[in-house]
Amino acid sequence: MLHYDFMQRAFFAGALIAVVASVLGVYLMLRRQALMADMLSHVSLAGVAAGAFLGLSPTLSGFLTATIGAVAVEYVRRFYKTYSEMSIAIIMVGGLSTAVVLMSLNKTMSKSFTSYLFGSVVAVDRSQLLLMLIVTAAAALFFFFLRRPLYQMTFDEETAKVSGLPTGLISMLFSVITGMIVAAAMPIVGVLLVSSLIILPAALAIRLTSRFSAALLLAVAIGLAGVMSGLTASYELSTPPGGTIALVLLAFLAIGVASQKVVRLVRAKSKHAAATDTEMHSYGPIPRLGEDSHTS
């Protein structure tokens, strides 16, 4: 299968997107913004419809709309601080309704929408591959240089702001990067399943490790394995790549969660668990001065 140019491009593009989407997923989940990827993909669909309606490149217009949608959701989020998921619902409705109206105005384009909705390995052309390369490079730089500020902000934005971090600017950049990744991932997995590539690897990784950096690396490994095996299965079974990748990732999640439960059950029965339980309850009060030499 790798002797086909389109499959080589699909695997290369899939690997690029799997890496950055999985890292993004960890941050989105911990910031309680797991639905943001779904929302942006729907907004992006409005951009694709607008591009086709106006005779522009649907890829470029979808990309731009997703980025604008990401910035918009950040502004709306500031109005609904306590209910941040409300901003996602508001922008998603706006994006989807615009897409539906624009599609109804141009009935000849409904066929080409199938590949946007469900993904297609042949949809990845050279220009899209170049776009994915640029997005991956930008996202990799962003996540590498801002990994510590992002970690702090994931816990609590107010404490991060008091520590001197420019939280507003970083949040805005994070939203823009999210929009870019979602738009770049769309040709392969499609609008309806783009969030599976972002959320499922992260959902499993954060269950399996108690270290943040390990969670990021594990998510990338799960994402890569899911995309590669999903694309292979999609080629062999002639099924849509988006749905196949999502099903493989779901299977990984189910197996991972079940395995973890089994391991916990086995451990709970062992003497080791009893020892760590004792340790959990054996910590003392805050030491009085003089009792602890580490106060000097």
Decide: 119 and 242 in contact? Cβ < 8 Å: yes
Residues between 20 and 59 that touch other proteins (CB under 8 A): 26, 30-32
Give the one residue of 112, 163, 259, 260 binding other proteins; rule: CB under 8 A.
Answer: 163
**Does the protein bind other proteins through residue 280 (CB under 8 A)?**
yes
**Does the protein bind other proteins through residue 80 (CB under 8 A)?**
no
Is the CB of 153 or the CB of 186 nearer to other proteins?
A: 153
CA distances to 21, 46, 137 from 61, rounded to whole Å, are 21, 9, 21
Decide: 74 and 172 in contact? Cβ < 8 Å: yes
Give the one residue of 111, 265, 271, 286 binding other proteins; rule: CB under 8 A.
Answer: 286
Supply the minimum distance, in Å, between the C-beta of residue 264 and other proteins.
Answer: 12
**Does the protein bind other proteins through residue 279 (CB under 8 A)?**
yes
Which of 201, 21, 191, 228 has the alpha carbon at shortest distance from 113? 191
Specify whether the backbone of 238 is left (phi greater than 0), alpha (psi in -120 to 50) or beta.
Answer: left
Supply the minimum distance, in Å, between the C-beta of residue 55 and other proteins.
Answer: 44
Supply the minimum distance, in Å, between the C-beta of residue 201 and other proteins.
Answer: 13
Which residues share a beta bridge with 292?
Answer: 289
Supply the minimum distance, in Å, between the C-beta of residue 214 and other proteins.
Answer: 7
**Does the protein bind other proteins through residue 209 (CB under 8 A)?**
yes
Give the one residue of 3, 111, 211, 271 binding other proteins; rule: CB under 8 A.
Answer: 211
Which residues have CB under 8 Å from 263's CB, separation 6+?
A: none
Stretch that binds other proteins, among 105-113, 130-138, 176-184, 211-219 (CB under 8 A): 211-219
Supply the minimum distance, in Å, between the C-beta of residue 89 and other proteins.
Answer: 20
Tokens at residue 296, please? 């000097």
Rounding to the nearest 10 degrees, give the CA dihedral for residues 223, 225, 227, 232.
-170
Q: What is the largest CA-CA distance in the chain?
A: 81
Residues 118-157: x where in contact with other proteins by CB under 8 A, - otherwise, as a string? ---------------------------xxxxx-xx-xxx-
Is the CB of 270 or the CB of 282 nearer to other proteins?
A: 282
Decide: 223 and 22 in contact? Cβ < 8 Å: yes
Is the CB of 108 or the CB of 210 nearer to other proteins?
A: 210
**Does the protein bind other proteins through residue 287 (CB under 8 A)?**
yes
Give the one residue of 71, 105, 214, 273 binding other proteins; rule: CB under 8 A.
Answer: 214
DSSP state letter for 111: T
Q: What is the C-alpha to C-alpha distance for residues 213 and 217, in angstroms, rounded to an integer?
A: 6
Burial readout 169-183 (b: 16 or more C-beta within 10 A, e: otherwise): ebbebbbbbbbbbbb
Which residues share a beta bridge with 289?
Answer: 292
Binding site for other proteins (CB under 8 A): 26, 30-32, 145-149, 151-152, 154-156, 158-159, 161-165, 205-207, 209-212, 214-215, 279-280, 282-290, 292, 294-296
